[in-house]
Structure 1
């Protein structure tokens, strides 16, 4: 008995028509009929009832069909396992700029030290693009702006930061310990483009609207270091995550907002049902972080 004979049998059983089955298998009908007859002879059972009206499965054929499908599925799985054994292990990671600046480098460095044989590919993507890439299997794990909610995804929050005001160091408002957002109504703003950080941009616009004004945006820039460079030059002010102060302090002064604002959260997200051993090892480091 050969695997190709099982494939022929399953196709005929699904079509219940030798001509259509032969077309599906890209072969002529007589050779297909001969292969099925040889299989029946080898098994010493009749798998199909044949008549002028068509083809139907015998009880033996019906019982054999379930086992034939299992055998073909197991053979396909065995082939994949063998192929994967000689292929390089891969991990594809999506990330936002904020995640890369704050949490990702240490995780990637630790992972590469522990598993140097795994090829890690990183791709910068928006949160929305990462969610779609996770769902269609383009990436294995994403580092996104939280919160996100999708029944097919699991997340773990890695970092939570409040928004603060970034001011040129010679700005009059630097003398205040905290700043009321309404006092920035007439200030020129430098922001990260909506296309780059839609979550942060949306939160910024909502906060300004709740404070009773529409922000005067004079410059869009990315990444955050460029935004802060423009602030330091005196071009305007910006709202940034509090962690920016540790990375860029030259010419910029940071002040807390007097009104509490939602935290900016960075989370790792992955598919519930498709966790490979390579991803499991990576998630162990993520959860430690």
Structure 2
């Protein structure tokens, strides 16, 4: 028995409808039914009467409901006090690269001023590892384009900004002397893109957009770290499409150019679980972002 299971039971007892309760708890109806059945096995009695068309609480269920509400309320008060007052409260955020981490630094410094007791941890994770780190509660949030979570009701998305795509080339590239480049001039170059989600879908979407623009690259290479993209550009006389947010963070030897008549842009979001165990700290930080 754990607090999450008690939350599930309380919601089921309030709605007397496992489907509605599951929706409120952002889980499937099957998961809700299994959680309640396991809880009944653990306490050794039926908490719900399922014999009629509608479920209802048994006498034992009503008694257990009162105890569960009291227990969860007490737990919430204690954890909220600890999260708010204890000197070891933490906010752990995952990023795919140090450049994304630096982009959020001004907000984190602002948060530190109003919450000096909170220890802020910024972790650099591989793009593939970020969703698992969030789901496994190894981090409180991740900063990533929101495509992976667009249809996930368990994740809270706070859009940080939408950035137009810019062209990045080496200083020695023949296009580097231009302040802006027509997208038609990119035909025939090897191209690198930074992938943030499903790799196959990412390349398909990018290729379709380029096809719509009338561009055919010599090749399209997907890379999972921004550092790999930078090295690929320098070593292969290639071009890369990167969000405008990286413009001021490019290493020596690379330049960023605007692309004429290019409608491509990419959003970034602060993604966190709606049932996170660190909600008091998370909500305080989210208030600064919104």
Corresponding residue number in structure 2 for 1:57: none
Residue 248 of structure 1, CA deviation: 2.1
Contact kept in structure 2, 1:135 and 1:152, CA below 8 Å: no
Cα separation, partners in 2 of 1:165 and 1:266, compared to 1, 3 Å? same
TM-score, length of structure 1 as denominator length: 0.59
Where 2:176 maps in the other structure, the secondary structure is helix
Corresponding residue number in structure 2 for 1:90: 90
Q: Distance in 1 between matches of 2:121 and 2:102?
A: 18
Corresponding residue number in structure 2 for 1:262: 264
Q: Distance in 1 between matches of 2:175 and 2:245?
A: 20
Contact kept in structure 2, 1:162 and 1:264, CA below 8 Å: yes
Greater alpha carbon shift after TM alignment, 127-136 vs 144-153: 127-136
Q: Distance in 2 between matches of 1:247 and 1:64?
A: 62
Aligned counterpart for 1:74 among listed residues 41, 50, 70: 70
Q: Note the residue ranges of structure 1 that are not aligned, 5 or more in a row.
A: 1-22, 27-61
Corresponding residue number in structure 1 for 2:249: 247
Larger radius of gyration between Structure 1 and Structure 2: 1
Deviation digits for residues 187-219 of structure 1 (CA, Å, limit 9, x no counterpart): 2334446779888756543333433425424x7
Corresponding residue number in structure 1 for 2:7: none
Contact kept in structure 2, 1:168 and 1:232, CA below 8 Å: yes
Corresponding residue number in structure 1 for 2:285: 282
Cα separation, partners in 2 of 1:133 and 1:199, compared to 1, 3 Å? farther
Q: Distance in 1 between matches of 2:79 and 2:89?
A: 11
Q: Distance in 1 between matches of 2:60 and 2:198?
A: 56
Contact kept in structure 2, 1:165 and 1:257, CA below 8 Å: yes
How many residues are treated as equivalent by the alignment? 229
Corresponding residue number in structure 2 for 1:144: 144
Deviation digits for residues 155-185 of structure 1 (CA, Å, limit 9, x no counterpart): 2322222111122223333344532334323
Aligned counterpart for 2:159 among listed residues 147, 157, 172: 157
Contact kept in structure 1, 2:233 and 2:240, CA below 8 Å: yes
Q: Distance in 1 between matches of 2:122 and 2:199?
A: 18
Cα separation, partners in 2 of 1:134 and 1:83, compared to 1, 3 Å? closer
Cα separation, partners in 2 of 1:101 and 1:215, compared to 1, 3 Å? farther
TM-score, length of structure 2 as denominator length: 0.59
Q: Distance in 1 between matches of 2:103 and 2:199?
A: 17
Corresponding residue number in structure 2 for 1:178: 180
Cα separation, partners in 2 of 1:243 and 1:121, compared to 1, 3 Å? closer
Cα separation, partners in 2 of 1:272 and 1:164, compared to 1, 3 Å? same
Where 2:248 maps in the other structure, the secondary structure is helix
Cα separation, partners in 2 of 1:200 and 1:102, compared to 1, 3 Å? farther
Cα separation, partners in 2 of 1:227 and 1:85, compared to 1, 3 Å? same
Q: Note the residue ranges of structure 2 that are not aligned, 5 or more in a row.
A: 1-40, 45-57
Corresponding residue number in structure 1 for 2:4: none
Contact kept in structure 2, 1:145 and 1:267, CA below 8 Å: yes
Residue 258 of structure 1, CA deviation: 2.3
Q: Distance in 1 between matches of 2:101 and 2:200?
A: 17
